[in-house]
Amino acid sequence: MIADRVREYIVEIEKSSVSNKEELEAFRMRFISKKGVLTELFDGLKSAPAEDRRALGQELNALKNLAQDRFKEFNETIENGSEKELSATVDLSLPVTPGEQGALHPLSIVKRRIIEIFERMGFNVSYGPEIEKDWYNFSALNFADNHPAREMQDTFFISKSEVATREDVLLRTHTSNVQVRLMERQKPPIRSIMPGRVFRNEAISARAHCVFHQVEGLYIDRSVSFKDLKDTLYHFAKEMFGKDTKIRLRPSYFPFTEPSAEIDVSCFICGGSGCNICKHSGWVEIGGSGMVDPNVLENCGIDSNEYTGFAFGMGVERITMLRYGINDLRLFTENDIRFIRQFQGA
Ligand code: DAH
């Protein structure tokens, strides 16, 4: 019985052919798989008369080898076939279509330029965390607990207690947090700029956004004066906006500086005669500045009798908008490559 079936299967296998993967799989299922005829025949061997078993076993093994060899053959033919098909459709000698090239974001271009100018004046670059403790964003910077100045900057809190504590966690509202971290870990002289992303709970519009960028600056040493601040900002403005640029420091208030001043530069679009960008005033504001409040120095472990310093903070979006005449903040975050491409080499 078994011997007859073996002969039939040998004929069947020799005659069979496959032309695709599905047929190959059907062949495998029929002969080789655990549920295939070979398994069944080997099982049947147990009930065959003892004296025939040896001979039958040999025949079955031969059948098994035949099935496996055929399977290998079929498999190779199909694989080669698909390679041939592929090379018939892909012409490897065709010239390559170049991939689309990206471009530096205008904010990155301006940030790099700001860094470059200050680095040449001897400032190094420091970074700090965007998720920050109240202490670094407010308390160490001389914002009294519950002082309304905290409301100047609509804060995104991550964890907040009833009464403000130094342990509250928030998204930093300015890069001034890095000043504190730097002063805590480094002895003067300190001369550093700190670029970074900041967050405020503001409705998004052409003129306001909840995420934007600042570059903070800090210079602490013996006898640093307001004149040093003025000279530094003046040099920066000329390098950034052109050699005829003037600056104006307008009295202002920040808890962490005393005295404090708003930084204006003469409008480089109209040269000061008045235009839409400067709202016909001849001046545009780019940031805040001042002499570091002695309380801040003391909070950070620096002796305010020995050292003085100046600090400033500027808006990168603001400078970029002025420089390129961009009138809507939202363009920066829409990621439209056509917008971003316009600033290369500008
Ligand atoms: N932190 C201020 C703001 O975000 C900007 C600023 C003003 C930074 C004066 C300073 C400074 O370091 O001295 O509005």
CA of 254 to the centre of ligand 1 (A): 7
Per-residue pLDDT at 153: 66
Q: Residue 193: CB within 6 Å of ligand 1? A: no
Q: Residue 307: CB within 6 Å of ligand 1? A: no
Residue spans of the domains in the chain: they are 2-88, 106-341
The separation between the first and the last C-alpha atoms of the chain, rounded to the nearest angstrom, is 90
Q: Residue 289: CB within 6 Å of ligand 1? A: yes
Per-residue pLDDT at 160: 80
Per-residue pLDDT at 149: 59
Per-residue pLDDT at 86: 67
CA of 9 to the centre of ligand 1 (A): 88
106-341 fold: BirA Bifunctional Protein; domain 2 (3.30.930)
Measure the CA–CA gap between 211 and 328, rounded to whole angstroms.
Answer: 14
pTM over 0.75: no
CA of 249 to the centre of ligand 1 (A): 13
Measure the CA–CA gap between 10 and 42, rounded to whole angstroms.
Answer: 15
pLDDT in tens, the chain (346 residues): 788 888 899 999 988 888 888 999 999 999 999 999 899 888 888 888 888 888 888 999 999 999 999 999 989 888 887 767 666 778 888 888 888 778 899 999 999 999 999 999 999 999 999 999 999 999 999 998 877 656 666 899 898 877 778 888 999 999 999 999 999 999 999 999 999 999 999 899 988 999 999 999 999 999 999 999 999 999 999 999 999 999 999 999 999 999 999 999 998 778 888 887 788 999 999 999 999 999 999 999 999 999 999 999 999 999 999 889 898 999 999 988 899 999 987 6
CA of 159 to the centre of ligand 1 (A): 24
Q: Residue 174: CB within 6 Å of ligand 1? A: yes
Residue from 143, 171, 174 whose mutation best tests the ligand 1 pocket (most atoms within 8 A of CB): 174
CA of 331 to the centre of ligand 1 (A): 25
Packing angle of the helix pair 50-89, 37-44 (nearest 10 deg): 170
Q: Which residues are bridge partners to 306 per DSSP?
A: none
Q: Residue 192: CB within 6 Å of ligand 1? A: no
Per-residue pLDDT at 45: 85
Per-residue pLDDT at 151: 62
Buried b (16+ CB within 10 A) or exposed e, 304-340: beebbbbbbbbbbbbbbbbbeebeebeebeeeeeeeb
User: Measured from the CA of 216, which atom of ligand 1 is nearest?
Assistant: 12
Per-residue pLDDT at 188: 97
